[in-house]
Structure 1
Amino acid sequence: LKQEAMPAHWKPTKRRQKDLDATWTKKHGKSHYGYKLSVNMDKKYKFIRKIVTDTASTHDSQHFERVIDKANTNRNIYADRGYPSAEREAWLKANGYRSQIQRKGHRNKPLSKTQQGRNHRIAKTRARVEHAFAAMEQMGRKLIRTIGQVRANFAMTMMAACYNLKRLAYFQSACIVAL
């Protein structure tokens, strides 16, 4: 499977059950096989505005430009420590966005108190996105029983749509009106 080709000696029944699109990745010392979901979320109402799915081995930062919703009127872009780069900062500035990307310390060069405070301020806003992932995880997001990236993309899109419907139902039951 690592060569993205099925061995010729496999029987057709076994071939149907193997997913050649999915890839392996390590996160916090644990190996995961499958796909990855990146989202663009509304800061105020916690609606998912845009999603991008890809194989698990693809780094999150490769989805950055594709997941940005150009129709969004909020010009602040919040992201974690895996995204900062000089090119990305220049791209954001050229396109009229304000970078709210957390900074990362390096060996023998820790973050200053000011940078730590900035990261903490950004983390409070970013935590709202993690609530959406937790809600989708309760709906079964951790496990997708499909073979192929197209089907996995469909499954994750449906999960995001269900999450948004759940948020909409909450707003309607609480009589909250978007301004």
Structure 2
Amino acid sequence: MVRILVLKRLYNLSDEQMEYQLLDRMSYKRFCGLASAINIPDRTTVWTFENRIGEAGAKVLFDGVSAQLLKRGFIARGGQIIDATLVPAPKQRNSREENKLVKEGAMPADWKPAKRRQKDTDATWTKKHGKSHFGYKLSINVDKKYKVIRKIETGTASIHDSQHFESVFYTLNTSRDVYADRGYTSKGREDWLKDKGYRNQIQRKGTRNKPLSECQQGRNHRIAKTRARVEHVFAAIDQMGGKMVRTIGQARANFTMTMMAACYNLKRLVYFQKAGIEAF
């Protein structure tokens, strides 16, 4: 069943699509160890198993893949890169009054139980580059050398990226360099990194009354060349059928986002083996 969940996440399939693909494709059957159509679980079984293991089960899978990478010598090297990405969820078509009640933690009185089950009251709205986004947020820590996700943290879209910085900070990287974009800069964080003995590679942020100097702009440009490696990770996750979650509620979204990270690391491990890349 775990292999079925891996396939489902690798191609971002719904439960119904997963059942159909298992019936249709011999490659899926072989990967999942299913001999015939009689043994193929239906969509309800897949949904039930996914909800039974929950986020804790996905975290076990993520840790298991990470352990396999460490066992083969792919430890975190070259410095750590921290960043976050928005994970969209299906938009809720609520009225202003309904949204106001949801923000207050209440439910509209005219919502019947069946309708409530189809409403995601955990996902939130945020704005990025002038556009509104609805859903959740995935923060990750990637090592510079192997581009493997070392730690993750999940939350709603409205949470600022910098609030997950400490949660995803990875102390086992062999380098003391810490890379992040200008959204993570703060005097307190710079002092914290200095006290811990880390090299601050967080981009500077200018203000209206105090723009960045030419030297600071050059520093940002140098950091951006390395920091951009984390964008490759997000692009690879997006290629796994897209980042949108087809779930309702924070708990299921956390499961899906954790599975995203686990499956990405699994693909990296397979790539290392096929390409003959050895850790050193």
Q: TM-score, normalised by structure 2?
A: 0.62
Listed as ranges, the matches of 1:83-102 within 5 Å are 83-102=184-203
2:221 matches 1:112:
no
Listed as ranges, the matches of 1:88-167 within 5 Å are 88-167=189-268
Deviation at 1:84, TM superposition (A): 1.0
In 1, Cα distance between equivalents of 2:241 and 2:122: 21
**What amino acid maps onto 1:153 in structure 2?**
N
The equivalent position to 1:64 in structure 2, one of 155, 158, 165, is: 165
Deviation at 1:4, TM superposition (A): 2.4
Verify the 8 A CA contact 1:40 1:49 in the aligned structure 2.
yes
**What amino acid maps onto 1:84 in structure 2?**
T
**What amino acid maps onto 1:114 in structure 2?**
C
**What amino acid maps onto 1:177 in structure 2?**
E
Listed as ranges, the matches of 1:20-99 within 5 Å are 20-99=121-200
Work out the percentage of aligned pairs sharing the same amino acid: 75
Q: What do the CA deviations read for 1:35-69 (whole angstroms, capped 9, x no partner)?
A: 00110001000000001110100000110111101
In 2, Cα distance between equivalents of 1:140 and 1:92: 37
In 2, Cα distance between equivalents of 1:141 and 1:160: 13
Q: What do the CA deviations read for 1:133-179 (whole angstroms, capped 9, x no partner)?
A: 01101113431011111111110111111111111111111100111
**What amino acid maps onto 1:31 in structure 2?**
S
Deviation at 1:109, TM superposition (A): 2.6
Select the structure that is richer in helix.
Answer: 2
Give the aligned length. Answer: 179
Instruction: Structure 2 unaligned segments of length 5 or more: list them.
Output: 1-101
Deviation at 1:72, TM superposition (A): 2.1
2:277 matches 1:176:
yes
Deviation at 1:2, TM superposition (A): 2.3
Q: What do the CA deviations read for 1:92-122 (whole angstroms, capped 9, x no partner)?
A: 1112211100001211432112111110110
**What amino acid maps onto 1:73 in structure 2?**
T
In 1, Cα distance between equivalents of 2:114 and 2:242: 27
Bigger relative contact order (CA 8 A; separation at least 6): 2
Q: Could you say what the CA RMSD is over the residues aligned between the two structures, in angstroms?
A: 1.1
Deviation at 1:5, TM superposition (A): 1.8
2:120 matches 1:19:
yes
Stretch deviating more after TM superposition (38-47 or 103-112): 103-112
In 1, Cα distance between equivalents of 2:255 and 2:279: 28
